[in-house]
Chain A
Amino acid sequence: MKTENVLEIKELNVHYTTLTTTVVALKDVSLHVGPKEALGIIGESGCGKSTLSYAIMDYLPLNGASTGQILFKGEDLLALSNKEMQKFRGNRIAMVYQNPYSSLNPSLTIGFQLEEVTMFHRGFTREKARETAIETLIDLHLGDAVGIVKRYPHQISGGMQQRICIAMALLCRPDLMILDEPTTALDVTTEAVILDLILELKEKYDMSMIYISHDIGVVNKVSDRIAIMYRGEVVETGDKKAIFDDPQHPYTRALINCIPRSGVVKEHVKLNTIPGYVTRRSAEESGCPFVARCEQKNSTCEEQYGMKEWAENHYTACDRAYATDVPAKKLQVDEGSIPDTGDAEHKNVLELDNVYRYFGHAGKRVRAVDGINLTMERNSVLGVVGESGCGKSTMGHTVTGLYPPTKGRILFDGTDISVSWRKRSPDVLKNLQLIFQNPGRSLNPSFTLEQIIGRPMKKLLGIESKQERRKLIIDILKKVDLGEEYISRKPKQLSGGEMQRAAVARAFSISPNLLVCDEPTSALDASVQASVLNLLVDLQKESGASYMFISHDLNVINYLSDQIMVMYLGRICEYGTKNEVVGSPHHPYTEALLSAVPDVDPTKTRGTIRLKGAPPNPTQKIVGCPFSGRCHRKIGKICDTTPPPKVDISETHYVYCHLPPHEMDIIATKKGM
């Protein structure tokens, strides 16, 4: 059954020369992609995934150089001149990028950007090119294709922009499509739709595909075979099932095990972490790239390292793959329910009483938070989940006082804090802290960690003595696994994970009662995310603080939370304990969200609910249920005209929905995750 491979990469090496050193970006990469095959490439940032795709396109920075062979249908791309390469780019090999918005030229119409592709490669006239563009857009299920070609990129939504980018790649019916994190910037429900679409088009156009992502779940969904990359090397390749069921390379195991997924919750397991971080590779280095962080290393790691066949179609580079002293290959997954620790006293730390937050002026008013009622118990973690623009961050900011509520009351430990942080007492400020998404931007780059962490201590705890503060700072740094030597470092000298630890340390330095965490791990790599999540769990157990944990990632929310709140367009859809919301969801939106999350385990498949369209314009006044326009279980006119009532499912679980109880029970028994 040996057929000719569409792409065959043989011992590809890429290195960058800087003034002082040579950095190895890819080392001896050999991969192949068969006809109609989808190869998924997984790895953390800095592991050379994108470099590989740009090397295939022969688009490396000026200081980059490559050796080896990239055979595309037998022709070596590396030997081609730039002019000859132009005939392949966009024509035989096409690429889709992570950020659709910035990949489209803002000052040219979408039609123009689509037409030029076939005009150049096929010599079409503009009319013919437009026809082809519109046909392709229709293939991508874009309703108003004729209207869209006249628009500019900023006039359409993110999901549509990515479809345009995919259409652009498909115009010449390429043999190979390279997708570099195409859904990373999109919402989970949009991602689900785009992934389905990619699969459908792959069949339709008989394409081969390279799909690059850091998200194992996504890669599983679209690929046949998977390659794991670490520090510029392919460490393991195999069928997706083999990779997940029987991972061999310690890095593959470590990576798979640090990702939260369904059934992995803080009550049962601690996430796996990988000590250290991805470092740059110098030209002299040889042997296993993972050796510095590997817990099972020995003398063979250097000498006997190299790709070998482990099983049919399953290759791994680690020579110790068959060793018995490696720990459990798979993270334990316990589907059982979580025991209720009913002994704790139920005292509220936070109450939101009909809170609204509007932006803008009359006529163009954005209802970011549109009437939220909520209580949060002491010593608990409330996970707030929803897609971008649902108001979850704004709600967090009304609590922290960055955007005081337009209407409504916020009670914190019984004190009314419905005002801006400027008007709050030092005691409230001390007890209510926050962590932002991007530590690189939220920590002042010109301050040392001592200044960053010491400042709230001085301002809010009134510790004037520098010695005393330093002692406390060192204590807290140790708690977040940063050594004493970090005290004099500045944020720039830290890695992403260390920066977020420093941000956690800053927030915890004054022992707050409530911590608002706004997507604290979204910008981090899987292994780093795992260590920050573990840290947050430990600190919470130890300090008894409560978290309001805001995230778009349901797996993370599921891992960390006690209660979960699902938001849509500034309102609550569903609220309940983790078991209730994830185990027996009652709201159609929760159902759709849960179904859209790609599973890390490729053996588990579930039907994804495709939501229609995009969330409505937030400036428009909504009379009925905000979700009615996209709901797959809409029951009729009532959804558009009457706000949904609060339906109590249990003492701790409620939804806002018009669905009759028996239909909700159907959702619950289908079970999302």
Chain B
Amino acid sequence: MSFMKRFLSRLGFMALTVVAMSFLIFLLVEIMPGDVAQTVLGQAATEESVAALRETMKLNDPLMVRYGRWASGYIQGDLGESLYMRGVQINSIFWRRVGHSMLLALSALIFYVPLSIFLGVLAGVRAGKFSDSVISFLGLATMALPEFVSGILLITVFSVNLNLLPLTSVIPIGQTLWQNLEILVLPACSITFVMFGYVSRMQRSSMIGVMNSDYVRAAILKGMPKRYVIFRHALKNALLPTITIIGMNMGWLFGGLIVVETLFGFPGLGSLTMTAIKTRDIPLIEACVLFITIIFVFSTFITDMMYSFLNPKIRFKREDL
């Protein structure tokens, strides 16, 4: 079973990457200028109080010991305590934010993936015709707009002028995201704007390549109807490069929406990371960045597996039979 072997070896690599990255993140935050205890107590603090705090926070232990403590805490599910909001367990705020981000990413994904694949296929099959020109132009135009520009555009049109959707994506105190699902619409649209161009153009060009391939020609000259040829013969092969592109952007989508979330004031992982960096809340930065890393690695893994599953050349080696 070469697929199983591939699965296991990729899984191993994934774990290795996460471990290496966690060390790197720990080290980076460690070598950032400024003393943690000093930051916590403020510039006015006396040397003794700083030293005392260092002692209570066990900052004087050797690097590896501290890394071990930090990492083992993570494994047990303890993300530590926020520095900025003293006494607040990171766990208590972190996972809710992650949940919000996941929901946003998922709604964006459900939105843009079918849309861009469908329009990409359409443009590819009709390459050179009017519908292709329109789709390609749309793709280029939305790709050229950074998300803060398209976001502001969307807010102006749908919130300010048409008054259809909320201006910001803030959840009122005491309510949950589920009660305010409409706040997802504009951020998801703005993400779709960014991704549509990439994905549909990739889908278009791979579709053109596949439609010009010998095997599609052979299928047409076997007398198969065009629609059947497109969906049964061409699409599966033409999806492979698109899946790679979507997968590569999955990490960004699930953990790196800093600009979009900040713009809309959406309470997700991205805006949390932003706050953590602004307030130099080191444990929170570490938690956010590590989580984003894990999402990146994991989505790469999923992409890889999907790619091998869809591609029989990887799934079945010649020697297997």
B291 to chain A, nearest CB (A): 35
* Count: A-B pairs, CB below 8 Å: 82
Interface contact A154-B313, CB-CB below 8 Å: yes
Do B215 and A104 have beta carbons less than 8 Å apart?
yes
Q: How far is the CA of A57 from the CA of B237 in the complex (A)?
A: 25
Is A95 an interface position by the 8 A CB rule?
yes
> Is the pair A102, B222 in contact by a Cβ cutoff of 8 Å?
no
CB distance from A49 to the nearest CB of B (A): 16
* A104 to B214 CA separation, bound complex (whole angstroms): 8
Cβ contact within 8 Å between B214 and A89: no
Residue B219, interface by CB 8 Å: yes
B-facing residues in A142-156 (Cβ within 8 Å): 147, 151-152, 154-155
Give A424 Cβ to nearest chain B Cβ, in Å: 37
In the assembled complex, the CB of A361 is this many whole angstroms from the nearest CB of chain B, namely 15
CB-CB < 8 A to A89: which residues of B? 220-223
In the bound complex, do residue B221 and residue A104 qualify as a contact, i.e. CB atoms below 8 Å apart? no
**CA–CA, A91 and B233, complex, Å:** 19
User: Given B215, B223, B318, which contacts A106 in the complex, CB threshold below 8 Å?
Assistant: B215
CB A19 to nearest CB in B, in angstroms, measures 13
A514 to B312: give the CA distance in the assembly, Å. 45
- With the chains together, A59 CA to B221 CA distance in Å? 8
Inter-chain CA distance A154–B315, complex, in Å, is 11
The 8 Å CB contact of A107, one of B223, B236, B318, is B236
Residues of A within 8 A of B226 (CB): 82
CB pair B218–A103 under 8 Å, yes or no, is yes
In the complex, what's the smallest C-beta–C-beta distance from B223 to chain A, in angstroms?
A: 4
Q: Which residues of A contact B222 (CB under 8 A)?
A: 89-90, 94, 116-117, 120, 168
**Total number of B residues with any Cβ neighbor in A under 8 Å:** 27
In contact, A86 and B223 (Cβ under 8 angstroms): yes
Q: What chain A residues lie within 8 Å of B237 (beta carbons)?
A: 105-107
Q: Which residue of B lies closest to A96 (CB)?
A: B218
A522 at the interface (CB under 8 A from B): no
Report if B224 contacts A (CB, 8 A). yes
Complex Cα gap A152–B316 (Å): 8
Give chain A residues whose Cβ lies under 8 Å from the Cβ of B236: 107-108
B58, CB-defined interface residue at 8 Å: no
A59 touches B213 (CB 8 A): no
Most buried by B among A82, A102, A105, A106: A105
- B219, B223, B225, B318: the one contacting A154 at CB < 8 Å is B318
CA–CA, A99 to B220, complex, Å? 16
Distance to closest chain B CB from A405 (angstroms): 27
Closest beta carbon of chain A to B310's beta carbon, Å: 7
**Given contact pairs A154-B313, A155-B321, a sample of 10 additional A-B residue pairs in the complex whose CB atoms are under 8 Å apart:** A86-B224, A90-B222, A105-B233, A105-B237, A106-B313, A108-B232, A154-B312, A155-B320, A165-B218, A168-B222
The 8 closest A-B CB pairs, nearest first, are A90-B222, A90-B223, A89-B223, A102-B214, A105-B215, A152-B312, A103-B218, A103-B214
Interfacial residues, chain B to chain A (CB-CB below 8 A)? 128, 213-226, 232-233, 236-237, 310-313, 316, 318, 320-321
Q: What residues of chain A have their CB less than 8 Å away from a CB belonging to chain B? A: 57, 59, 62, 82, 86-91, 94-95, 97, 99, 102-108, 116-117, 120-121, 147, 151-152, 154-155, 165, 168
